[in-house]
Amino acid sequence: MKFFIDNLPIIFPYDRIYPEQYAYMCDLKRTLDATGHCVLEMPSGTGKTVSLLSLIVSYQQFFPTRRKLIYCSRTVPEIEKALAELKRLMEYRLSCAETEEQKEKERNFTGLGLTSRKNLCINPEVAREKKGKVVDAKCRDLTNSVACEKGRANPGSVELCDWHENLGKMEPGQLIPTGIFTLADVLQYGHDNRICPYFAVRRMMPFVDVIIYSFHYLLDPKVAEQVSKEMSKDAIVVFDEAHNIDNVCIESLSIDLTRPMLDAASRNVTRLGEKIEEVKATDAAKLQDEYAKLVEGLQESLEPDNDTDDYMANPLLPDDLLQEAVPGNIRKAEHFVAFLKRFVEYLKTRMRVLHVVAETPLSFLQHLKDITYIERRPLRFCAERLQSLIRTLEITRLDEYSGLQKVAAFATLVATYEKGFLLILEPYETDNATVPNPVFHFTCLDPSLAIKPVFERFSSVVITSGTISPLDMYPKMLQFTPVIQETYPMTLTRNAFLPLVITRGSDQVAISSRFEVRNDPAVVRNFGSILIEYSKIVPDGIVAFFPSYLYMESIVAAWNDMGILNEVWKHKLIFVETPDANETSIALENYRRACDNGRGAVLLSVARGKVSEGIDFDHNYGRAVIMFGVPYQYTESRILKARLEYLRDAYRIRESEFLGFDAMRNAAQCVGRVLRGKTDWGLMIFADKRFARADKRAKLPKWINQYITETASNLSTDMALTLSKLFMRTISQNPDENQTGISLWTLQDIEKAQAKQRELALENGKHNKEDDDYGDGGISDSALMDLDMDD
């Protein structure tokens, strides 16, 4: 369908539209017009991605500036789905285009997705490696500029990658034809044309209209520096599924050091030393050259000639990039190696301590200076200096140097930030462990640090998800001011989902995953009987989530011994999430087969785990989701404690408030994945007595909370079963044919709503006409829109 929002013609690739989608698109447009940021929560399964893409593509195609869209998602399945949505949208737009000129315009629209070398490599020699790090290293060896130069000058002397070479022979900007390519399409295209998909996408990035990749590519400075730095400032940035964005921010600036890592690092240092001696003997000029460059300053020396030379990334944010010259005491290669050696030894000594230590970066630096005379300034340049050295020495198989890279990144970070970070040394894994296994955590406490450059650089940042309540938490944690902050209720003509809170078993024993009672046999049995009973009455798929891996693994064993799973086997197959990702994927695929086949299956997995992120359980893949317990974080974790303390001091967010918020957003995320579309249906079962409390429920997204009735908020298992049966009987009737007009809009409904809105606006306009202007004396939006740009 085609309609207008203000003057903007929107092409939406369906015949109908949900009112939520329309409202969402209106708000999105306002954000883009105002060139500001926004936080939008739209109920899961109501077509958020398609509305978003539909509006933004319409916007891009209408205005001549063609602002680029950077669309970030969490997981590869989600990236692939977004690409597929985009592809479908563009096909629809093409079919709608009237003139040949318009058609040409739609055909020229290009969208690509980027993921790692491991996922995109098609060189069989490299792709067969299992670890992403090894793939990266091998790929660099075959594609870096020095190797390429040598190989091209003297064919056969150095092994090169044919796929990458073929790419070099092509016209830049024409590596991939226009249009939308999903990751699978790009791989296929690479196979067919014998070109490297990874570099094709990377080099096409300046030319595309839409790029879809993971959060990390924009938030993690190590990656962002290589991948995203050429993005223009007027690009539209979207963080979809952004409910965990604060965690991604924190992760991208945190580092762990362990004993094995330090051991590897000292071996690396020795090898570097040997290498330097070697080079000195054969090609001393090289080192001299490097020294001269370093005197001039880092920036020029590090400007890479092309994108293949990303040896090692700098963990610093672009803001802090150093413009000054490298300090004298680490300019010389052998001095730098000695410097590194001293630092690694210091860290090793620190690790020998057998009690927990928590200190700020400043106190760490002070102690470091007292013991080893290492200053803060050279430490800051550690990562950069190492990068330069590795380049000079032409070191291959970089994955073997990962220990040293970690140490260097740690050194740079610790010497750069004073606030918002903490160092925690934990000598033992658990409180009652006897064998020390020390870990040095360098942990970022402030999520706003990593995302700050994004907000500063890009004019429009959209943060959106199906479950991002309470909305005001995100601007607070990420330190930005949104122009629009909105959550949409779900309009339904009949209740498509039934949220139930089970607080006690049929024997009236209260159920809870609270640490004190979670292993109580009565609780375990009651949890088990919920699973048994639901596996009896629910068709096809049931997904059950546990608050942690530890709890899931112990309860699965306990259920097996109690004979509970034997009962479940009678009705459904059982699949369980395992530590291995590939193994779990295969289990997931089999789970889906069992659901398609009608055999039915139960999937046991973990909230915040691998499966809970990015896998949808719509339609028959999830007729019921059971949340066993409240997915609180492990409050004994020292890192979490430090973070809570920081949030309290810096942003006045109370500990309990944050913990509750975090648990509920994860619970909502788990149950929210059952729906896609309004004819889909599912049960959402919250099994813990703590869900009954009003303050907990208030943290759920509005669209879920509004359907929890007072009676359904405190049920025993048998009562919940009765309600569920009743619900399934009603929902299995033919859907009420006439949703249109209420929860489903046709073009006429949109026009009606718009007419109404205009009337309202007219009324309001009479009162406050002046408010519409931004007051900055610039050209107003409507003037811009009316301007004829073709001349």
Partner 1 sequence: MPTTVCTAKASCKKLPGLLELTNTHLQWTQDGNKAPSIRVPYADASSLFCSKEGAAQVKLKLGLVGDDAEHYFTFTSMPQTLALAEREKFKQELTAIIGRNRGVIDSPQKPGPTPIKSSTSLPVTASGTTGAQRTGLALGRPSVSRATSVSSDRRATPVITGADPASEFALRKKVLLANPELGALHKDLVMTGQITEAEFWDGREHLILAQAAAENQKKGKPGQIVDPRPETVEGGEIKILITPQLVLDIFDEYPIVKKAYSENVPSKLSQAEFWKRYFQSKLFHAHRASIRSSAAQHVVKDDPIFDKYLEKDDDELEPRKPRNENVTAFVDLLATMEDHGETGNEKDITMQAGRQKAALPLIRKFNEHSERLLNSALGDIPAAKRRRLDHGEDGLAEIVIDDLQDPESSDGIPLDMQDRQRYFEGRMAGVGGSNSDPSKPHDPKLALQALRAGVQGWDARLAELKVERKPGDSAFVYMTQNVMNRLNVRSQKNDIPPGVFKDMIACQTATDEFLRQFWSAVYPPLGDLQVASQATPAQRAAKAARMIGYISATPEKVQKLIRAGEMHGCPPKKIETAMKPVLDAVNQAIKFHKMKTGGKA
Nearer to partner 1 (CB atom), residue 479 or residue 585: 585
Q: What is the DSSP string of 414-442?
A: HHH--SSEEEEEESSSSTT--S---EEEE
Nearer to partner 1 (CB atom), residue 336 or residue 410: 410
Nearer to partner 1 (CB atom), residue 305 or residue 596: 596
Residue 246 C-beta: closest distance to partner 1, Å? 12
Residue 182 C-beta: closest distance to partner 1, Å? 8
Nearer to partner 1 (CB atom), residue 385 or residue 572: 572
Residue type at 636 in one-letter notation: E
Nearer to partner 1 (CB atom), residue 591 or residue 646: 591
Residues 6 or more apart whose CB falls under 8 angstroms from that of 454 comprise: 218, 219, 237, 461
Nearer to partner 1 (CB atom), residue 223 or residue 668: 223
Residue 5 pairs in a beta bridge with 8
Residue 679 C-beta: closest distance to partner 1, Å? 5
Nearer to partner 1 (CB atom), residue 4 or residue 634: 634
Nearer to partner 1 (CB atom), residue 167 or residue 611: 611
Residue 101 C-beta: closest distance to partner 1, Å? 27
Residue 250 C-beta: closest distance to partner 1, Å? 7
Closest C-alpha to 512, from 658, 631, 594: 631
Backbone angles phi, psi at 433, to 5 degrees: -75, 150
Nearer to partner 1 (CB atom), residue 287 or residue 449: 449
Nearer to partner 1 (CB atom), residue 333 or residue 409: 409
Residue 716 C-beta: closest distance to partner 1, Å? 28
Nearer to partner 1 (CB atom), residue 331 or residue 678: 678
Nearer to partner 1 (CB atom), residue 637 or residue 732: 637
Nearer to partner 1 (CB atom), residue 286 or residue 441: 441
Rounded CA gap, 473 and 451, in Å?
15
Rounded CA gap, 293 and 662, in Å?
49
Residues 6 or more apart whose CB falls under 8 angstroms from that of 359 comprise: 367, 422, 423
Residue 546 C-beta: closest distance to partner 1, Å? 10
> CA of 447: how far to CAs of 153, 216, 251, 651, in Å?
48, 13, 9, 12
Residues 6 or more apart whose CB falls under 8 angstroms from that of 501 comprise: 686, 687, 691, 692, 697, 708, 712, 713, 714, 715
Nearer to partner 1 (CB atom), residue 457 or residue 571: 571
Residue 421 C-beta: closest distance to partner 1, Å? 12
Nearer to partner 1 (CB atom), residue 127 or residue 719: 127
Rounded CA gap, 720 and 696, in Å?
20
Residue 255 pairs in a beta bridge with 442
Rounded CA gap, 604 and 590, in Å?
13
Residue 383 C-beta: closest distance to partner 1, Å? 14
Label residue 478 exposed, middle or buried (CB < 10 Å: 0-12, 13-18, 19+). buried
Rounded CA gap, 16 and 691, in Å?
36
> CA of 736: how far to CAs of 606, 706, 726, 743, 760, in Å?
36, 21, 17, 11, 32
Rounded CA gap, 501 and 700, in Å?
13
Nearer to partner 1 (CB atom), residue 416 or residue 548: 548
> CA of 148: how far to CAs of 121, 304, 562, in Å?
18, 14, 63
Residue 66 C-beta: closest distance to partner 1, Å? 25
620: DSSP letter: G
Rounded CA gap, 482 and 669, in Å?
23
Rounded CA gap, 233 and 742, in Å?
40
| Cis previous bond, 482, omega within 30 | no
Residue 698 C-beta: closest distance to partner 1, Å? 26
Residue 719 C-beta: closest distance to partner 1, Å? 28
Backbone angles phi, psi at 608, to 5 degrees: 65, 5
User: Phi-psi bin for 608: left (phi > 0), alpha (psi -120 to 50), beta?
Assistant: left
Residue 75 C-beta: closest distance to partner 1, Å? 4
Closest C-alpha to 363, from 438, 421, 407, 317: 421
Rounded CA gap, 399 and 405, in Å?
9
Do the Cβ atoms of 605 and 552 come closer than 8 Å? yes
Query: Cα 755 from chain centroid?
Result: 39
Tokens of 87: 């592809």
Do the Cβ atoms of 166 and 195 come closer than 8 Å? yes
Nearer to partner 1 (CB atom), residue 330 or residue 595: 595
Can you tell me whether residue 745 is helix, strand or coil? Answer: strand
Q: What is the DSSP string of 449-464?
A: HHHHHHHHH-SEEEEE
Nearer to partner 1 (CB atom), residue 287 or residue 606: 606
Residue 76 C-beta: closest distance to partner 1, Å? 4
Residue 703 C-beta: closest distance to partner 1, Å? 16
637: DSSP letter: -
Residue 405 C-beta: closest distance to partner 1, Å? 10
Residue 94 C-beta: closest distance to partner 1, Å? 16
Residue 12 C-beta: closest distance to partner 1, Å? 9
Residue type at 504 in one-letter notation: R
